[in-house]
Each structure stands twice: as C-alpha cells, then as structure tokens.
Structure 1
Amino acid sequence: MNNIRFNRRAVNAGLATSLLLGSTAWRGALAASPANASQRVLALADTYYEEGLALFPVGTTENVGDARYEGAFEIEIAPAHQARQKRLYERTLARLRAIDRSQLDADAGLTYDLLKYECEDRLSTLAVPWHLMPVGHVDAMPMKLSQWASGDAAQPMTTVANYDHFLARLKKLPAWIDQAIVNMRDGIARGITLPRELVERTLPQFDVLLPADPLQSPYLAATRSFPAEIPPAQQRRIAAAYRAVVSGSVTPAVRKLRAFMADTYLPAARTTAGMGDMPGGADWYRLQVRSFTTTSMTPQEIHELGLKEVARIRAEMEQVKAKFGFEGPLDEFFRSLDGRPELQPFRSEEEVLAAYRAINERVKPGLAKLFERAPKAALEIKAIEPIRRATASDNYVPPASDGSRPGVFYAVVNDPKEYRKTTMTALFLHEGQPGHHYQIGMQREQGGSRYRQTTWYDAYGEGWALYAESLGYELGVYDDPVAQLGRLFMELHRALRLVVDTGLHSKGWSREYTIAYLREKEGSTEDSARRATERYMAWPGQALAYKVGELKILQLRERARQALGPKFDIRRFHSQVLGDGCMPLSMLEARIDRWIAATR
C-alpha cells in the first residue's frame, strides 16, 4: 500500500484518494456520457476510478493487481502530487454539484453520496502534513519495494515483463528518497517530526536493506531464483540489469537516507509522543478522528466510551477466569497465563500456520447459517515476510480484481515457541472469514462501478472485522474457555485503543505512561505494549475505527431485531450490511433503517 497516511487501509491505498481528472479527460467523458443524471454520476465514478489507478500505481498493484500500472511509480509525497490531489477533489465536487441529486436512482444516489463524502474528507485531511514525516517504522517506500522484490508479495515476478516493470520502479526509488529528505528537512524547520522512538525503530530496517554483501541485497531477491519459464539468456540480462541499478543508484540512495535519518533527523526528532504536541497538532488530530471514525465524535467522547468498554469487558473476563479455576485478581490471572505449555504448543512456523488452517476448516460449516452468500476468491494463510516481523501486525491483503491473486491472511510469527493460541480463533475470524476476506471479497465481486468495489472506510471495514470476531459464538468455535478468553482479549485490546489513542494525541500521554497503562489493563508484555503504543503514535486516529464501527453494527443489529421481531433474519441483516460495500457509518445506518421499514 501507499504510505499509510495517504489511505484509509491497504485495501484502498490510493484508489479512494484517487485521481486527477484533467479538463480534457472530463470534456471527453461528458461528451460520451449518457444524458440522464444517474448515468452521468456512474460515468464520473468510473473515470474517477480509472484516473486513480494511474495517479497511485503502487497502490494499484497492491490492492487491485492491474497489470497496466505495475511498472509505474508515484512520488506521492511531492508537492506537485499533493496539488494534483487537491485539484482532483475540488473539481470532482464541482462536477457533482452540477448534477441534480434528486434525479438519481438509488444506486447512483449512493455513488454520488460516497464520492461527495470522500472528496470532502480528502480535502480536509490534506491539511495534515504527513508528507513531512514520510519515513516511519510502520510503512515507507524503501521497505515496501524491498518486500515486493522477493516475488512473493503484491508485485508479480513470473514473466520477463514483470521483472522489467519492477526494475522500472526501482530506478525511481532514489527520486522518492531525495524528496523524502527535502520534506523531512522542511519538517525539522517547522517543528513537525516523528517522535524520537519511532525514528530509532526505523533505523534497523535500513540495516536490513544494506547487507555487507551487496549481492545479498533484498532488492535482488527475485533474481537469485527465476521461474523456469524465463529463458536463461533473459535471466542473465535481468540479473545484470538489477545489479547495475541496485548497486549504482538504489543502494547509495538508501545509504544516504539512512545516514540522514541517523545523523540529522534523529537528533531533531521530537521527544513527545502525541500529534497534539506539534504546532497545529490538536486540529490535525481532530481531522484524523473524524476521517477514521466517519463520525462527529470528539476525542473526549471517544476516550470516555473507551473507559466504559474497558470496564465492561474486564467484568466479562472475571466470569471466564472462573472457568480456569483461578480465584485471584484479574491482573494476576493474566500473569498466570505466561508460559503455560498448553497455550504455547508450537515448535515451528508451519505448526502455527497449520493451526490457523484448522480453524478455517472449523469455521466453514457454520457460515451458511449466518450468510446468504460467500466470496468466490480463495483465502490463503501465510507468515509475514521476515523483514517486517519486528514491526508489523497481522493483516489481510485482498485478492486481485482479475482473480490472479487470492486473498491472503498474513500472520506475524516471530518465535513459534512463544506464539500463543489464546487469540488465534478470534484473530482468524477478524482477518479471514467472516471478517476482512468476506467483506472485501464480496465488495470486490459486486457488479457495477469499479469505484464502489474498492472504496474503503476503516470504521466500516475494521468495524465489520471486529464484529465478525463476535460471531464465533454462533459459529460454534468459541466452545472452550481458551477461545472465549482470546475473544475477550481481542475486544479489550480494541477498547483500550479508544483510551490510549485519544490519551496520546489529545491528552498529552507519554509513551512510557501508555505502555504502563496497557500492561496494567490487559496484562500484555513490555514488548507487546511497546509495539502497540508505537503503532498508535505512528498512525493517529486509525485505531479508533475498530470499536466505533463494531459498536455501530451491533447497535444496528439490535435495532433491527427489536423492530422486526420474528421477521428478523440474521442472514438478511448481514446481506444488508455487506450488500453495498464499504461506506461511512451514517450511510450504513440509513441503509439499515430503510431495510427495517421495508421489511416490517
């Protein structure tokens, strides 16, 4: 995906932040478009989508898999690119205003509303200067391309053309690095920098990119083992070309960036943890909160909601604790789980992956009881790449739109012997099915606008995935105290995010205080609490989306159940939630209310 500050999630990475509609392209679209208002809106959405693929080709590769753009590369942190985004949103809004909303059919009306909401949201969040902080430990272009160079990620590496396309991208990485350094110098001058601890977390990643043996560069990984279909002569040509580019320009540029980060940026990095501690940061955080939650909730309201949810979930944990025969305080119970062999039974990475595949097989039989349909795309389960294990979280990468790549659940397995089974079932429900794989897979397969197939809002998408964790009871996979406790641990973790994200970025909490708070409330290890805290420091507001979205879906489910009584059908409710794809929570609520009224 693009740098996380420029998209809501990997799924959308540049598609929802899409595209520049040049005046010539727009005139051509109007000339070819049907006369009626609904068709004009759908034509605008299609053009918006296609231009987005071109404006964000790296995101296109990761999230759509469109081969037309696999050799293109954008410097999205450049002022010119940001200006193109701004013009895009302003022009699209102007063109939407020229269409009479009252003349639209239901489908076009929703597309209109989504485009309008998105452009207004993107215009507001462009004010947040993430381009001045482009190199972080969670996501940065040099690390992304090193992962893709393996040939086992989003960038395909099976044909001669694939190799040549990726080489074209590598050639442009030094220009991205030069722009990043310019931006960070500007940020230093303006007092807008990453926290020092996040910079320290980033430096070791550069060391992986700069091995002592140049031939072991991760950027050369795919040239060390070619597909058999590529002729030997082409293999030799490609390998030589890659070595020349990596040694001649990429490695020197990465080395320069690493030196800048260590010698110039680190000493200037801020010693505070939250966005609110920077000049203008309080306003930026409010924009982040509104964008990620798609609500008008204030940081204080979210903080208070989090405190209530934490208290409620810990009370439920007290009940599950009794099933373990433990009579002491909850915090002591958490500590008593450390080192239990029955909770850490794995000896290899493959054993962990096999356990996830077994959970998948247990989940499958019950899905038809809760859903009217399932996604067509296959789901694979893999371990995350070694270079990202120290800083990454478990995640889901959606299938390619052309069916050439399945959906993939990536598990972070640092040390198999330390890997706990406690939360595995809930985690799989979240990332796999019926979580992200169901929601994103079905959205990709719906007919009509490609734009609608790829829109993403964290409050909806992550809210659905957290809601999917709760379905484990109805699916029959929370049938033992370990899985039940794991579910509550996962829910508690998301509730704590409401407290600590707002604490960090609007209440002045320090990194150290936040780590201590997480350790106290969920019994996490020092390392786990540190990793979580640093994620929230790096990505303000995003962690709020999960619980806010889940609570809204639960509220709508209960509203429908009470209103419809015996007419309530959980399968139809889920179809209504998922049927039109990702949308802001207010639009989802209106959709469910219309369904309730029509079903009574």
Structure 2
Amino acid sequence: MRHLFASLLLATTSLIGAAPAFGQALPPPVPVPGDGPEDARLKRLFYDSDERDLALDPIAAIFRGDMRYADRFGDYLTDAATAREKRNLEADLAALNAIDRAKLTRVDQLAYDVFRNMVTVNLRGYAPAIQSVTRLLPIGHFGGIQTFYPDFAGGKGGAPFKTVADYDNNLKRNIGYAALYDRIIARFREGMAKGIVQPRLVVENMIGQFDNLIAQGTEGSVFYAPVTMFPASIPAADRQRLTAAYARQVRDVITPAHVRIRDFLKTEYLPKARASVGLSAIPGGDALYAYRIEQNTTLPLQAEAVHQLGLSEVARITREMEAQKTAAGFKGTLPEFFTYLRTEKRFQPASADEIRRDFESIGKRVDARVREQFALIPKTPLEIRPVPDYRAKTDAAGSYQDGTPDGSRPGIFYYNTYDLPSRYTWGMETLYLHEAVPGHHFQIALAQENTALPAFMRFGGNTAYVEGWALYAETLWKPLGMETDPYQRMGGLNDEMLRAMRLVVDTGIHAKGWGRDQAIAYMLDHSAMPKTDATAEVERYIAIPGQALAYKIGQLTILRLKAEAQAKQGGAFDPRAFHAAVLDSGALPMPVLEAKVRGWIAGSR
C-alpha cells in the first residue's frame, strides 16, 4: 500500500532504455560502455524487481504510464499481499548482497547504495512491532485512497481516457476500489478490539470526505465524469453503452461502498475513536514514530534532537521576520504584523480567477530567469489548476502531481481556493517556487526523463529529498527575481517558518504529548499563516506522523552541501553545475546524496 496511501512518488525499479509510451513496458536492460558482469546482474535485479512490483501495483503502474495491468485494481490491504511484499523485499536484499559492489561502475555503485537504503528501510516497516499498528490504521483523511482515487477514476488524475478500452478498464478497477472498503472496515474493527484506533478528528474528517462524495449523486459524481468528456474517437454506440454502465456503477456499486464506510465510521468507529492525537498515546506508537522519522528523513534521528533543531530554526527565522517587518515600515510587534498580514484586505484575492492569473504571471517571471540557475530543464509541460472542490477543505494550499515522462500527461501544480480570504497574495511566489518551478516539477520531471537511471530512481524517491529539494528551491528567490518587496519576502519566510515549526509540532504531538489546540496555537504564535491553514497542517501531522519532518531536514542537508561547494570552489562555483549534481540522479537518501555531492566537489576542484 505504500504507493497508494503513503506517496505516489514511491515505486520500485528498472531500466536502461527509452521511456515507455502508454501501454508499453520498459525494455530489459542493455549494457552500456564500461559495464561488467556485476553491473549486468545489478541492472537485471532492478528490472526484475520493477516488473514484479508493477504487476502487483497496477495503480502505480498507470501513474507511470504503463497500462499493461490497467484492467486490474490490485489486492491491496490483504494479509497475503503484505506477506508477499515482505518476501519480495527480502529476496531483493539477498540478491543485492550477492553482487560485489566494488566491481560496479561509479554510477551503478550509486544505484546500489540507493536500492540498499530503500529496501532496508522498507523492510523494517514489516517488523511485527510496526505492522501491529500500521495494519490497523489503513486510511486517514490525508493518506487514504479516497483522497486521490476519485480524481484518478474521474479523468483528472493519472488514468487516461482516450480509448474504449480505457473506459472499460476504469469500470473494472472501480469494482476493486469499492470492494477495498470492506477490507478497510475489517481492519478498523480489528483495531477497535485491540485499542488501536484513529484520533476522533481524523475520523470526523474522513466522514466529511465521504459525505462530500455521496452528496455528488450519480450524474454529478466525479466517478461519472469520464462519460461527460468523451474524445471524438469514441463511437456513438460505445458512448451510449458506457454512459449507462458508468451511471449504473456509480449508483449501485460506488455510492453504496461510500455509504458503507461512511456509516461504519459514523456509527461504530467514531464512538471508539480516541481523544488523543499523538502516536505515543497508543500501544506500539513510540516504536512506530521512531520508524516514521527514519523512513521520512532517511536518517536515524531521535525525536528530541529533531524537536530542538526545530526550536533553533524557529528562533533564527523569527529574527529575519523582524527585519522584514522593519523594512515594511510596520511599527507594531511581530505578532501584530502577523495579524495585519492575515487581515489586511489588499492581501486577500478577490476571486479564484485572480489567483489563477497571478500564478500564471509568477510562472512567466520565473521562467525568464530560471536558466541562470539551471542547465537541466525538464521537457515535461506544467499546468496550473485549482484543487477539486470535494477535497479542498482538507487539502494543502498547494500541491504537485507528476506527469509522465513521454509528455502525454503534464505535471500539475494545484492551488487551493477554499476559504478564499485566507489565500493571501503575499504567499504566492514562494508557493510557486516550491510546488512548481524550480521545485517539485523540476525535480520529479527531470528524474522521470532521465533514462540512464534505473526506474526505482526515476519514479521512486524519499520525502527528505523530494520535499527537501522543494524547500531548498524556495531559497532561490533572490537569483530568480522573486520576493522583491518585504511582503512577498515575508511570505517566503512564513513558508520556511512553517517547515521549521513542523519539526517542533510533529515531534510535540507524537513524542511529547501535545494536543491539537496546543499545536495550532504554537503555529499561529510564530507565523502569519491563517487559522484555516494552521488547522489543516496540524491535522495533517496527526494523520501522517513524521512526514512533515523531512522538509527541513532535506533542505538543511542541501544548503550545507552548497555551502561546502562554495567554500571549496570559491569564485569558480557555478550554481547550474551544483544543481545538476543534486538533481541528475533522482531522489537520493541523505547519506547517499552527501557522498555523491562531496565526490563532485572533490572532482571539480
């Protein structure tokens, strides 16, 4: 379930060859100059592992543009699937151990190290102490299948709707989607019996999500939407048949499944849900949180050390905010300046259309300067879209969905228009830098387009690198000509403050017994973010423990490596070369990234 419910960036393995078109498999690996027998064995391991996992995870395959298994949903959340995933990881690790790393090329040694880190950390997630908790908390309001599959099946996500087969395959997958909720209910009931349940607020948010889906009815349902936008190539007879089939499935299969899970959550699960919000409040929660820290940061950090790092970063950013308050000519205290930023009408967009126009304008200004900092520019196009209404309330202010390496689906920057007065204009430039260019879109698209990488490095990743890069991208505001006035600069600092506060708040909630209201108050006291966003952020940390820690850890790692390069290269330092060294190998665990970049620094002097 890691592909579906944790991060759709995480896949596993393959390649040397061209990126696949829809419906095609990646070709088997072929030798490149310098490869020896051990390189061939390693690449074959990557390829075989990837082929195996794609067949077992059809949804992840479709997100990659591979439609071979598009008529399947997958047997997610079954005990057999869990046992099989563990055996497969053990087999991959054994096969890797049989390969002599010293006999690999430098490029393949890097791939070896990344694969070992990925498999080792994932395998620890199948330890009995971890599984005894995670299997009983199958979905939440931020990491549940209901948060992305409706768009996926509705023509606004990764699934294509170009042929009759695409439409029929979607009907088949939807049957598996509806059936999954029965397995989710069974897992939740098992958790109820063992005292391992979701926090009440997570359950209430999930109930709201299902209420929204149910309220769409049949012809208004996102699941019905594909038959409202047939391409011209679909014959009239098929349109008629498919329209009837989609209406029948929404009415008789999908909506009843949503009603079942909603009613279960409301009548059975909610009364048993816990008032506490942290992992430390449930049996096995401390061990799970320690694992989540390493899983997300790729480093074996202790919760207390992370908490203290967060406090120091909050103090540093506060000093910079004071300077921008002075630059803006504001005479009051910093908390009063926060209130001013939250309440001043001129910072509140008049319409959703105004937000769209502003983001499009920001994108053009960034594009005009980005080649000064980057020699690697992705070919994958980028689109700017609003977050769909049904999930806007619990969604972040902005997010990114990756495209396909063949360009048939663009990368998408989603902006949120829920509670419009809280979508302040002073936060738009830094949000675009993070989610779009040169943040997530550059990093993810460049990795996918790099056919020299094995597929687990092209299509996989880790949160510390992926989110650390996006947060690092925000620090490029000055060379990219952004944040030229103190209010936009406050927006940048406010976003960086958010990531610093995450170190404090996430560990506070899950290791130090903080409550929801305490965490929200801390965020409001130390930033200008609106209460709507602070609430959504805190409830996100409650729903997916540890994920929010990765941003700052990753960013600080990249900034430290940049400072080392600048110190050693002096006037010869070229940001384009540094960014290429960071970006040209896909998402690396922090220890592997540090070794790679330090090797580049040593070789470039």
- AA in 1 matched with 2:350: R
Match for residue 23 of structure 1?
Answer: none
The partner residue of 2:245 within 241, 253, 256 is 241
Q: Taking structure 1 as the reference length, what is the TM-score of the superposition?
A: 0.93
Give, in whole Å, the separation in 2 of the partners of 1:59 and 1:192: 29
Query: Does the Cα contact within 8 Å between 1:191 and 1:278 map onto a contact in 2?
Result: yes
Match for residue 123 of structure 2?
Answer: 123
Equivalent residues in 2 for 1:204-243 (5 A)?
A: 204-211=208-215, 213-243=217-247
Q: What is the SS of the residue equivalent to 2:135?
A: helix
Equivalent residues in 2 for 1:353-502 (5 A)?
A: 353-393=356-396, 394-448=398-452, 449-502=454-507
Identity, % of aligned positions: 38
Q: Which moved more, 1:529-538 or 1:47-56?
A: 47-56
The partner residue of 1:552 within 542, 549, 557 is 557
Give, in whole Å, the separation in 1 of the partners of 2:419 and 2:530: 14
Match for residue 41 of structure 1?
Answer: 42
What's the offset of the Cα at 1:55?
1.6
Q: Taking structure 2 as the reference length, what is the TM-score of the superposition?
A: 0.93
> Does residue 103 of structure 1 match 2:103?
yes
Query: Does the Cα contact within 8 Å between 1:274 and 1:506 map onto a contact in 2?
Result: yes
Give, in whole Å, the separation in 1 of the partners of 2:439 and 2:512: 32
The root-mean-square deviation of aligned C-alpha atoms, in Å, is: 2.1
Equivalent residues in 2 for 1:67-86 (5 A)?
A: 67-86=67-86
Match for residue 521 of structure 1?
Answer: 526
Query: Does the Cα contact within 8 Å between 1:377 and 1:406 map onto a contact in 2?
Result: yes
- AA in 2 matched with 1:57: P
> Does residue 167 of structure 1 match 2:171?
yes
Match for residue 283 of structure 2?
Answer: 279
Match for residue 314 of structure 1?
Answer: 318
- AA in 2 matched with 1:110: L
Match for residue 21 of structure 1?
Answer: none
Query: Does the Cα contact within 8 Å between 1:15 and 1:59 map onto a contact in 2?
Result: no
What's the offset of the Cα at 1:560?
1.1
Query: Does the Cα contact within 8 Å between 1:377 and 1:399 map onto a contact in 2?
Result: yes
- AA in 2 matched with 1:44: L
- AA in 1 matched with 2:375: E
- AA in 2 matched with 1:355: D
Query: Does the Cα contact within 8 Å between 2:380 and 2:405 map onto a contact in 1?
Result: no
What's the offset of the Cα at 1:114?
1.4
Give, in whole Å, the separation in 2 of the partners of 1:224 and 1:372: 42
Give, in whole Å, the separation in 2 of the partners of 1:538 and 1:253: 22
What's the offset of the Cα at 1:69?
2.8
Equivalent residues in 2 for 1:256-271 (5 A)?
A: 256-271=260-275
Query: Does the Cα contact within 8 Å between 2:465 and 2:588 map onto a contact in 1?
Result: yes
Match for residue 23 of structure 2?
Answer: none
> Does residue 536 of structure 1 match 2:534?
no
Give, in whole Å, the separation in 2 of the partners of 1:402 and 1:55: 23
The partner residue of 2:597 within 587, 592, 595 is 592
* CA shift digits 1:274-295 (9 cap, x unpaired): 1111101001000000110111
Query: Does the Cα contact within 8 Å between 1:196 and 1:269 map onto a contact in 2?
Result: yes
What's the offset of the Cα at 1:217?
3.2
- AA in 2 matched with 1:339: T
Q: Which moved more, 1:421-430 or 1:409-418?
A: 409-418
Query: Does the Cα contact within 8 Å between 2:58 and 2:74 map onto a contact in 1?
Result: yes
Give, in whole Å, the separation in 1 of the partners of 2:351 and 2:247: 34
Distance 1:142 1:431, change over 3 A: closer
What's the offset of the Cα at 1:244?
2.6
What's the offset of the Cα at 1:5?
7.9
What's the offset of the Cα at 1:538?
0.5
> Unaligned stretches of 5+ in structure 1?
18-28
Match for residue 87 of structure 2?
Answer: 87
What's the offset of the Cα at 1:382?
0.7
> Does residue 144 of structure 1 match 2:148?
yes
What's the offset of the Cα at 1:504?
0.4
Q: What is the SS of the residue equivalent to 1:226?
A: coil
The partner residue of 1:186 within 190, 204, 211 is 190
Q: Which moved more, 1:475-484 or 1:122-131?
A: 122-131
What's the offset of the Cα at 1:109?
1.2
Give, in whole Å, the separation in 2 of the partners of 1:215 and 1:409: 27
Distance 1:6 1:138, change over 3 A: closer
What's the offset of the Cα at 1:16?
6.9
Q: What is the SS of the residue equivalent to 1:252?
A: helix
Q: Which moved more, 1:565-574 or 1:265-274?
A: 565-574
Give, in whole Å, the separation in 2 of the partners of 1:400 and 1:522: 36
Give, in whole Å, the separation in 1 of the partners of 2:326 and 2:523: 23
Give, in whole Å, the separation in 2 of the partners of 1:490 and 1:106: 37
Q: Which moved more, 1:286-295 or 1:365-374?
A: 365-374
Give, in whole Å, the separation in 2 of the partners of 1:46 and 1:436: 26
* CA shift digits 1:167-195 (9 cap, x unpaired): 00111123211111111111111221110
What's the offset of the Cα at 1:131?
3.0
- AA in 2 matched with 1:589: E
- AA in 1 matched with 2:257: A
Query: Does the Cα contact within 8 Å between 1:66 and 1:401 map onto a contact in 2?
Result: no
Q: Size of the alignment, in residue pairs? A: 583
- AA in 1 matched with 2:527: E
Distance 1:4 1:547, change over 3 A: farther
Match for residue 114 of structure 1?
Answer: 114
Give, in whole Å, the separation in 1 of the partners of 2:216 and 2:592: 54
> Unaligned stretches of 5+ in structure 2?
15-27
Distance 1:522 1:168, change over 3 A: same
What's the offset of the Cα at 1:454?
1.3
Give, in whole Å, the separation in 2 of the partners of 1:571 and 1:391: 37
Give, in whole Å, the separation in 2 of the partners of 1:35 and 1:574: 30
Match for residue 19 of structure 2?
Answer: none
Q: Which moved more, 1:223-232 or 1:452-461?
A: 223-232
Q: Which moved more, 1:53-62 or 1:537-546?
A: 53-62
Distance 1:4 1:68, change over 3 A: closer
Q: What is the SS of the residue equivalent to 2:87?
A: helix
Query: Does the Cα contact within 8 Å between 2:381 and 2:407 map onto a contact in 1?
Result: no
Distance 1:262 1:122, change over 3 A: same
Give, in whole Å, the separation in 1 of the partners of 2:541 and 2:152: 25
Match for residue 11 of structure 1?
Answer: 9
Match for residue 566 of structure 1?
Answer: 571
Query: Does the Cα contact within 8 Å between 2:516 and 2:538 map onto a contact in 1?
Result: yes
Query: Does the Cα contact within 8 Å between 2:433 and 2:439 map onto a contact in 1?
Result: yes
What's the offset of the Cα at 1:213?
4.4
Query: Does the Cα contact within 8 Å between 1:220 and 1:242 map onto a contact in 2?
Result: yes
Give, in whole Å, the separation in 1 of the partners of 2:267 and 2:408: 44
* CA shift digits 1:345-397 (9 cap, x unpaired): x3322221111110011111221111122111111111111111011112111
* CA shift digits 1:376-420 (9 cap, x unpaired): 111111111111101111211111132211111111111445421
Distance 1:147 1:577, change over 3 A: same
Give, in whole Å, the separation in 1 of the partners of 2:317 and 2:213: 42
Give, in whole Å, the separation in 2 of the partners of 1:509 and 1:503: 5
Give, in whole Å, the separation in 1 of the partners of 2:421 and 2:532: 16
Q: What is the SS of the residue equivalent to 2:425?
A: coil
Give, in whole Å, the separation in 2 of the partners of 1:85 and 1:212: 36
- AA in 2 matched with 1:170: N
Match for residue 259 of structure 2?
Answer: 255
Q: What is the SS of the residue equivalent to 1:382?
A: strand
Query: Does the Cα contact within 8 Å between 1:3 and 1:139 map onto a contact in 2?
Result: no
* CA shift digits 1:215-262 (9 cap, x unpaired): 433322222343332122111111122223232222222211111111
